[in-house]
Amino acid sequence: MTEALSRLFGEFHAPLVRLVTRRTGDPELAEEIAQEVFARAAVAPPRNPRPWLFAVALNLIREQGRTATRRGRLLELYKAEAPSRAPAPDAELERSEQADRVRAALATLTERDREALLLKAEGFNYDEIAATLGLAKGAIGTTLSRARRRLVEAYRAQEGRQHHAAS
């Protein structure tokens, strides 16, 4: 069991952390969730690990999201009160703002569409996405089609608003 878990960890920890980071924007939380996922795998080793690990991670993200919603308002107030920091270099700031826009665009997708898109970005094939999300394989193409279009259009809309505000 130990060797199997070690292999799982070696193969899937980094992609798992990456997906959760992309999904939440919080690398520390991503690490915590990944640890929790592997802790659960240690107790109940999955037969089909890849979809299982990512499905558990996505469930934990949803659970965390429900908790975070309650705290969100307090955190927003804290952000408003925090002292201003020195401005970051322009290029870094621009990229960070781009990442924020991507996240905002992702937030316009349904949870399923968002998850399917992030799993595809991690190299999952349709069978694996279907197994992870509990969808029929035949629905994955349509799901990704909708998700990609929505993401791109939402991002373009934000860019358009920003350019309009800047002008």
Partner 1 sequence: MQHLDDGLLHALVDGEVPSAELGELQSHLDGCAACRARLDEARGFTRESDDLIQLLDVPAARPAARGGTGAAGRPASGPSRTWWTTGGRRLAWAASLVAAVGLGYTAGVRPWQAGASDPGAGVRSLATVPVENAAPAPAATEPATGGVEPSDRASDAMPDQMAARNRAPSPAEREAQSERSAPAEPVAEALASGARQEIAADAAPVRRRDEAAPLRTEPAAATPAAPPAPVMVIDRAVGAALEQRGNEAAKQVLVAWTAVDLPTAIRLLGGSLRLIEGLVPERLETAGRAVRVVYADGIVLEQRRDADSVVVALRGPAGLAADSLARLAARIR
161 touches partner 1 (CB under 8 A): no
- 48, 59, 88, 136: which one binds partner 1 (CB under 8 A): 88
2 is an interface residue for partner 1 by CB under 8 A: yes
Radius of gyration of the chain (CA): 18
Report the residue from 49, 135, 139, 157 that binds partner 1 according to the rule CB under 8 A: 139
Residue 28 is a binding residue for partner 1 (CB under 8 A): yes
What tokens does 167 get?
A: 């002008």
Contacts of residue 135, defined as CB under 8 A and 6 or more positions apart, other chains included, come to: 112, 116, 129, 143
The contact mask relative to partner 1 for 51-70 (x = CB under 8 A, - = no) is: -------------xx-xxx-
Query: Residue 8 in 3-state DSSP?
Result: helix
55, HSE (Cβ side, Cα atoms, 13 Å): 15
Q: Does 30 bind partner 1 (CB under 8 A)?
A: yes
